[in-house]
Amino acid sequence: MAGAILSTTPNNQLLRKLPAEAFVLLEPHLELVVLPRRAPLEQPQKAIEHLYFMEQGIASVVSANDRTSPVEIGLVGREGVTGIAVILGSATSPHSTFIQAAGSALRIAVKPFCSVMLQSEALRSLVLRYAHVFMVQTAHTAAANATGSIEERLARWLLMAQDRLDNEALPLTHEFLAIMLGTRRPGVTEAVHALIKRGLIRTNRGIIIVVDRDGLVQRAAKMYGGPEAEYEKQIG
């Protein structure tokens, strides 16, 4: 579904932070779209056609090449927007972006977005600060993948997913989690079982249910919290 008229205040946190005069410039170009799971938003080295201000659900930015398995490098939910490459002045990205948890977004084509960004200092400043925050997230993900156990990384990732979905029940399969964590499914299964034994989560038919969020924060150790604090500092 596409083309629905905006009748309510956007759920997207970036759009909610924009002053009215900046949002008025964007609004005529925004298109509400429903995004099913696995829907592709960007493909490697292909011209990016739209940016998606996520309203619900989660988009995953994934790095892959001929020599490696797909590995997630970033998450985008209602706190952000896809198309970081466009914000930074590029027409393409080496990464792919797809929908991991079904939802919706306010979509805008690249040309009108760039036009409004040139007109509005408020929009330009906001999305550049978000690009910075997103790069902090990717740096923390790289550090977590390099130094953290699978169980710690899984705890971090579940917290990040819950932040974006505002729900204790997360629709996440072991297949997706293997991509997200850059590991094999048996390793994910062991980590899931370990968190279940600790009483932090439970599972039910492709759903992971967060039982003890504070416990997950402790299990993720210092791998969770840095990008979240930077978002609060830069975006509020």
Overall average pLDDT of the 15-22 stretch = 96
Overall average pLDDT of the 166-187 stretch = 81
Q: How far is CA 180 from the centre of its chain?
A: 11
Residue 202, SS3 per DSSP: strand
Furthest C-alpha separation in the chain? 54
What band does 1 get if pLDDT is binned at 50, 70 and 90?
Answer: very low
Task: Tell me the one-letter amino acid at 45.
Answer: Q
| Percent of all residues in the chain with a pLDDT value above 70, rounded to a whole number | 94
Can you tell me the distance from the alpha carbon of 71 to that of 69, in angstroms, rounded to the nearest whole number?
A: 6
Predicted local distance difference test score (pLDDT) of residue 3:
43
Residue range 13-144 forms a domain whose CATH class is mainly beta
Can you give the residue ranges of every domain in the chain? 13-144, 148-234
- Mean pLDDT in the chain? 91
Predicted local distance difference test score (pLDDT) of residue 65:
65
Overall average pLDDT of the 152-167 stretch = 93
pLDDT greater than 90 at residue 164? yes
Overall average pLDDT of the 30-58 stretch = 96
Q: What is the pLDDT of residues 56-76, one digit of tens each?
A: 999 999 986 655 667 889 999
Least confident of 9-18, 107-116, 140-149, 210-219: 140-149
pLDDT greater than 60 at residue 17? yes
What band does 5 get if pLDDT is binned at 50, 70 and 90?
Answer: very low
Which option is the CATH number for 148-234: 3.90.940.20, 2.60.40.2220, 1.10.10.10, 3.40.50.450? 1.10.10.10
pLDDT greater than 90 at residue 213? yes
Q: Which of 162, 168, 149 is nearest to 220 (CA)?
A: 149
Q: Which of 59, 47, 51, 56 is nearest to 108 (CA)?
A: 51
